[in-house]
Amino acid sequence: MSLANAPDPEVRKSIVKQDLGNVLHPIVQHKVLENRQMVVSHAQGSTVFDADGTSYLDAMAGLWCVNIGYGRVELADVAAEQLRQLAYFPHTAMNAPAAALAEKVNGLMGGGYHTYFVNSGSEANEAGFKIARQYMKHEYPGHYRYKTITRYFAYHGTTLATLDAGGMGERKGKFEPYSGDFVHVAPPHCYRCPFGLSYPSCGLACVKNMETTILGEGPDSVAEVLVEPIMSGIGVAVPPDEYLPEVEGLCRKYGILLHVDEVINGFGRTGKMFGHQHYGISPDVMAIAKGISSAYMPIAATMVKNSVFQSFYGEASENRQVGQVNTYGGHPVAAAVALRNIEIIEAERLADRSAEMGAYLLDGLRTLMRHEVVGDVRGKGLLLGVELVKDRTSKEPVGPEQIAATADFCRDKGLLVGRAGGRGYGNTITLSPPLVITRAECDQIVDTLDRALATLDLG
């Protein structure tokens, strides 16, 4: 059944009925879904279509992931061809697409990495934790280096360990208690500096806080520091330029691995192929997902520097091999699709385009500061946030009703935006559109938000 060409209200109704009777949806309240749903039927470029024929400019690229945009039919051909050739075999053996993809992402890092394949960003971070711990067991026999230093208000995934690694109380609360292996420090969020300071006179208090924590925990109990270069879940926070180099300095000083989460930042999202490349740091462990395939297939990976890889290399009798496995890791179809996706990102210079369009969109969003309710506009490349406050001086966030009203207004006008923000506020409108977004579409985003905020100002 194709709904692409001829919207049929009866077909849509039957899908809604089937869904409500059978599906358990993530993170949305079913009572809300009963009153209002999207039934996505097809998509092209940056636009998605409901089965009732309504079109939406998707300013979130799904869940921050459809980097090359929708409707790339050539990826269907790649998948079909690979399905005919070899649909699956466990990655204890080798297959051509996964080998080529590993070489491709290694090349994007300038060489020096090996790649372990998984299926989601959560798994990529989770595998990273385990690789860091196992590495420490190899390198420091008799010691117990297992902790991950991570930041409050970060998001790193949905499994118990990645949720624990994240620092979002409102998301974690329902599943407590956790293991306690993840130790949280203050994030580099200058608009809401946890120390009440201002950059640069703060002297990067957030890095000092991290060092104090490492010392307090005991460096020889710490395996790794986990950072998302530009934090997205907090409502998009771009750190000061020196922040990540100084964090890397701490890792080197105390013999701790630097684990970088590029799940959202990666594959052109921030205007470079990887977010950390803005800051000249060199991850020891790196999680990649989302943009690796632009979500055309579920695939993700944990990349490890060759110095880490070496620790897993030896005689079979030494039992140093990676101590984990997953059924679908290195899936040939997903790998083939991801490889072609990256080739498209490269051929169309989408990281450069992200920088250019991101700067254009950021300029447009800054004009929204004329609304009193806009406290801050920030971002890098096409990873952007517009934070809404009741009062610019106190920075008191707008309530959930107002942020919902803003997002709903946009949706009613055919624009899908996201919402995020640390400290449970969720008061930042987030934008992370496909990297193929046009100037006219950027103008549409600004114009629609402008109208949405005008109604809030009046309210």
Q: Where are the beta strands (DSSP E) in 239-392?
A: 257-261, 285-288, 300-305, 374-380, 383-388
Residues 236-265 that bind ligand PLP (CB under 6 A): 261, 263-264
Q: Which is nearer to ligand PLP, 121 or 194 (CB)?
A: 121
d(CA 411, CA 446): 14
Residues 134-193 that bind ligand PLP (CB under 6 A): 155-158
Determine if 228 is a binding residue for ligand PLP (CB under 6 A): yes
Q: E strand or H helix at 440, and its extent?
A: helix 439-458
The pairing of strands 374-380 and 300-305 is unpaired
Q: Which is nearer to ligand PLP, 157 or 271 (CB)?
A: 157
Q: Which is nearer to ligand PLP, 158 or 209 (CB)?
A: 158
Q: Which is nearer to ligand PLP, 240 or 298 (CB)?
A: 298
d(CA 48, CA 190): 35
d(CA 225, CA 214): 9
How crowded is residue 274: how many other Cβ atoms within 10 Å of its Cβ? 24
Find where tokens 């991570």 sit: 150
Verify cis geometry, omega within 30 degrees of 0, for the bond prior to 200: yes
Residues 279-318 that bind ligand PLP (CB under 6 A): 289
Q: Which tokens go with 323? A: 């101590």
The H-assigned helical ranges of 185-331 are 205-217, 243-254, 306-311
d(CA 65, CA 8): 29
Coil, helix or strand for 344? helix
Q: Which is nearer to ligand PLP, 122 or 213 (CB)?
A: 122
In the list 45, 62, 97, 121, the residue contacting ligand PLP (rule: CB under 6 A) is 121
Q: Which is nearer to ligand PLP, 232 or 444 (CB)?
A: 232
Minimum Å gap between C-beta 214 and ligand PLP is 22
Q: Which tokens go with 458? A: 């009046």
Binding footprint of ligand PLP, residue count (CB under 6 A):
15
Find where tokens 């595998």 sit: 127
Determine if 416 is a binding residue for ligand PLP (CB under 6 A): no
d(CA 384, CA 113): 30
Minimum Å gap between C-beta 394 and ligand PLP is 29
Amino acid at 459: G
Q: Which stretch binds ligand PLP (CB under 6 A): 20-28, 117-125, 169-177, 382-390?
A: 117-125
The gap from C-alpha 101 to its chain's centroid, in whole angstroms, comes to 20
In the list 47, 82, 120, 430, the residue contacting ligand PLP (rule: CB under 6 A) is 120
Q: Which residues contact 28 (CB under 8 A, 6 or more apart)?
A: none
Minimum Å gap between C-beta 401 and ligand PLP is 25
How crowded is residue 343: how many other Cβ atoms within 10 Å of its Cβ? 13
In the list 232, 293, 354, 448, the residue contacting ligand PLP (rule: CB under 6 A) is 232
Q: Which stretch binds ligand PLP (CB under 6 A): 116-124, 142-150, 319-327, 354-362?
A: 116-124
Coil, helix or strand for 347? helix
In the list 37, 41, 122, 134, the residue contacting ligand PLP (rule: CB under 6 A) is 122
Q: Which is nearer to ligand PLP, 63 or 80 (CB)?
A: 63
Q: Which is nearer to ligand PLP, 155 or 425 (CB)?
A: 155
Q: Which stretch binds ligand PLP (CB under 6 A): 14-22, 69-77, 114-122, 338-346?
A: 114-122
d(CA 288, CA 108): 12
Q: Which is nearer to ligand PLP, 256 or 264 (CB)?
A: 264
Minimum Å gap between C-beta 51 and ligand PLP is 25
335 to 374: interface string for ligand PLP, x by CB under 6 A: ----------------------------------------
Minimum Å gap between C-beta 438 and ligand PLP is 25
Q: Which is nearer to ligand PLP, 67 or 120 (CB)?
A: 120
Identify the CA nearest to 326 among candidates 125, 119, 83.
119
Instruction: Report the residue number whose CB is nearest to ligand PLP.
Output: 121
Determine if 324 is a binding residue for ligand PLP (CB under 6 A): no
Find where tokens 């999680």 sit: 287
Under a CB-based contact definition with an 8 Å cutoff, are residues 17 and 33 in contact? no
Find where tokens 């100002």 sit: 457
Angle at 270 between CA 409 and CA 210, to 5 degrees: 105
Q: Which is nearer to ligand PLP, 91 or 151 (CB)?
A: 151
Binding site for ligand PLP (CB under 6 A): 63, 120-122, 125, 155-158, 228, 232, 261, 263-264, 289
